[in-house]
Every structure is written in C-alpha cells, then in structure tokens.
Amino acid sequence: MKKYAAELVGTFWLVLGGCGSAVIGAAFPELGIGHLGVSLAFGLTVLTMAYAIGHISGCHLNPAVSVGLWAGGRFPAKDLVPYIIAQVIGGILAGGVLYLIATGKAGFDVAAGFASNGYGKHSPGGYTMQAALISEVVMTMIFIVVIMGATDKRAPAGFAPIAIGLCLTLIHLISIPVTNTSVNPARSTGVALYVGDWATAQLWLFWLAPLVGGVLGAFIYRLIDNSEN
C-alpha cells in the first residue's frame, strides 16, 4: 500500500502546486507569475516528487504515465488500476484544498475555470476540439518517450527527474494556450469536478487523448530503442 499512498501524495502535490499556481499566482496583480511561471510550477512539482517518492512508487503521478509504462513493458498490469485510483483520489483531494483556499478571496468564481482544461470557447486561445486532441496526444506521447529514455538503465543515473520536470515545463509552455495543458487525466479530473458543467462535459478528451498518447509514446520508444531487449 505504500506505493499507492506515495502516488496519492505525489499527485496531490502536482495538482495543488501546478493548478494552484494557475489559480492563485498566475494573474496576481503586478506580481503574477504568468504563463512561464505556471509552466515552471508544473515541472517543479514532478521534479521535487521524483526525488521524494521515485524510489517508492516510481513517481508516475499520472494515469497516462502508468498506462504508457505498462505498454512499454516497464510496469506490471496488476498495479495499473490501483495506481490510477490513487492518482485520481490525490488529484481530487488537491482540487478540494485549492478550492478551500481560493474561495477565501472575495469575488472568486469557480465557474471562471479553476485551471480546468477545455477546448472551443473554453480553450484559453480559442482552439478547436481537433487542435486540442492533437495537442494532448502528441504532448503526452513525447512526455512518455522522455520518461522512458531518462529512466532507462543506460541513461545517466540521478538525472531523470530533471529531464522529466523540464519536459513537463516545456509541454506547458507550448500547450497552455491550446487546452490549459492536461497530459494527465488525474490533474484534469481533480479540478474539473469542482467546476462541473462544461469542465466535466469536456473531461472525456482529457482522459482519451493522454491515454492514447501514452501508448503511442511507449510504442515509439520501443521502436527507437537500440537495446537487445
């Protein structure tokens, strides 16, 4: 159970740190951290937790990562569902804590988005559903390629969290305008449930696309991997 608890805590931190930076810090008057700051915050959550719990659970923090690693032969099928359940619970708990903090400010309106992912009129840049689908699939695909490569036993030891955290930062720099960046169904679910309405209606895409991207990433890495295995 310890590895499942680690995934819950790690995903809690990812959602609280990443979405919290978007909800609370991004547009703070004059000193707001903006697009760059939110991107960095998501990367830092993964970087810090990878060092904290990587040796316990592998620090997936993301159903798409767990599915991708399973598809890549790096993760046992028996742990797949428990990991996903723990990750989703961690995301929802983080969304609840963030909601309690955010509503402490007069005038806060959860319907404004609450860092939820969306497309069409709910995309930060007004991108279509097709654009959102392509973005989420491709970004998750590359994320899995980086994760599998950085954690390969032939890669330099101890540097995987840095590569993975920076990759997630870059993904956000590219795709926040498109979907507010998911690449993680647990992250999307953790805040969408508190918004309801359009956020939960569009949540399907932010499960489907990352999971497809995760499997494609595993396939691509295995295709280009030059190990004998």
Tens digits of per-residue pLDDT, 45-102? 999 999 999 999 999 999 999 999 999 999 999 999 999 999 999 999 999 999 999 9
HSE value, Cβ hemisphere, 13 Å, CA-based, for 123: 19
Is the separation of the CB atoms in 194 and 115 below 8 Å?
no
Kindly report the average pLDDT of the chain as a whole number. 94
Confirm whether 14 is domain-assigned: yes
- So what's the pLDDT on residue 25? 87
Confirm whether 229 is domain-assigned: no
- So what's the pLDDT on residue 31? 75
In eight-state DSSP terms, residue 77 is: G
Confirm whether 95 is domain-assigned: yes
Confirm whether 70 is domain-assigned: yes
Q: Is the pLDDT of residue 210 over 60?
A: yes
3-state secondary structure of 153: coil
Q: 212: domain range?
A: 1-103+113-224
- pLDDT tens, residue by residue, 82-94: 999 999 999 999 9
Report the C-alpha gap between 101 and 95 in whole angstroms. 10
Confirm whether 149 is domain-assigned: yes
Confirm whether 108 is domain-assigned: no
Confirm whether 210 is domain-assigned: yes
- So what's the pLDDT on residue 73? 93
CATH number of the domain to which 28 belongs = 1.20.1080.10
Report the C-alpha gap between 86 and 95 in whole angstroms. 14
Number of domains the chain is built from: 1
Report the C-alpha gap between 57 and 182 in whole angstroms. 22
Confirm whether 182 is domain-assigned: yes
